[in-house]
Amino acid sequence: MTRAPSAASLSRERLRSQLLAGPPAGGAVEVTRRLLAVQGQDARGVRLAVRARSRGTTAADVDSALGDERALLITWLNRGTLHLVTSEDYHWLHALTAPPRLAGCERRLAQLAVSAAQAERGVATIVRALGQGPLDRRALGEQLARAGVPTAGQALIHVLMLASLRGLTVRAPVRAGQHCYVLVADWLGRPPRFDRERALAELARRYLAGHAPAGERDLARWAGLPLRDARAGFAGIASELQTRAEGLSVLAGKAPSRARAHPKLLGAFDPLLLGWCSRSDVLGAHEREIVQGGMFRPFAAVDGRAVGTWRIAGASVELTPREALADEHLRAFEEEAQDVLRFLEIAPRGDAPALSLGR
């Protein structure tokens, strides 16, 4: 057992694990494979998570990986929210983390006045419709309504969620700007044999690759699994771990990084806020400005610490500092703003600066 790192050292190591310090990833698939699962209910936010951790990619590259390449997909995993994962990791991660969410989804459908019979009819309707090819949420909603399945309010999304939790559907290709659902059997083929013990070990190994130093409780929270499962995963790779005095682990042979993180503009629901039990080291006194009612706003970070919020305003980035920023950091955020606009393919307007400061 090694000595516990300082708070600054711990932050630097996690930033390196997150690909926010040190060499960037080569593209969307590499980022996703490193982080294992990236929260994906915010379409722009999940793409911006790729931008912040790679070099030269665009949002269109993410869409290509979701569609033509069939390398990425989005579905309900882990804590019961949408996540971006690689297609090669889908089957085992779904088998581990989706079944515990089924009962909650069914209860929610009942609360939304969708009977069990209607829910079953809805799943059958979705599968039958997607047998003809990819369809977006609007088109599936029309099919469900014609079948007499309630779709008002949150009913539609929970019927879609039920089909996905059962391992029948995922979101993959983007058509005409809309994310479409497909059948797992058509898009990915038959699942390999599932070994729960091996899957828990792989979960722990892959989680630490993108989040170390971290502990068993961090993994349990991130994956939405019982603590006993997280402990079983860590036990399954015990020979690969180095455990620190405070109980945090890293994969053996991974030397602490000395690389400093460049100032970053991070998107909504960025993984840096969602990977551990606590996010106080990132947000500090600014948590109320960034986390509001379960929503995680885009934020600006210096050395992995939040210093402001930002948004797209027309054809520029508007940064609202929450504390005084050094000139060097403002220059870095100007470069970041230019890269955000490049990534999103937002053309600048005349001589207008890429970055403006809000209040």
- Identify the H or E element spanning 295: strand 295-296
Is residue 122 within 8 Å of 171, Cβ to Cβ? no
Using CA atoms, how far residue 172 sits from 62, 93, 202, in Å, is 11, 16, 24
| Residue where the block lists tokens 């460049």 | 262
Please state the domain extents for the chain: 7-13+194-251, 45-187, 264-357
Quote the pLDDT of residue 256. Answer: 60
The CA distance from 239 to 230, in Å, is: 16
pTM (2 d.p.): 0.95
- Identify the H or E element spanning 308: strand 305-313
CATH node for 7-13+194-251: 1.10.10
pLDDT tens-digit series, residues 262-318: 999 999 999 999 999 999 999 999 999 999 988 999 999 999 999 999 999 999 999
The CA distance from 58 to 235, in Å, is: 39
pLDDT tens-digit series, residues 24-74: 999 999 999 999 999 999 999 999 999 999 999 999 999 999 999 999 999
Residue 303's identity, in one-letter code, is D
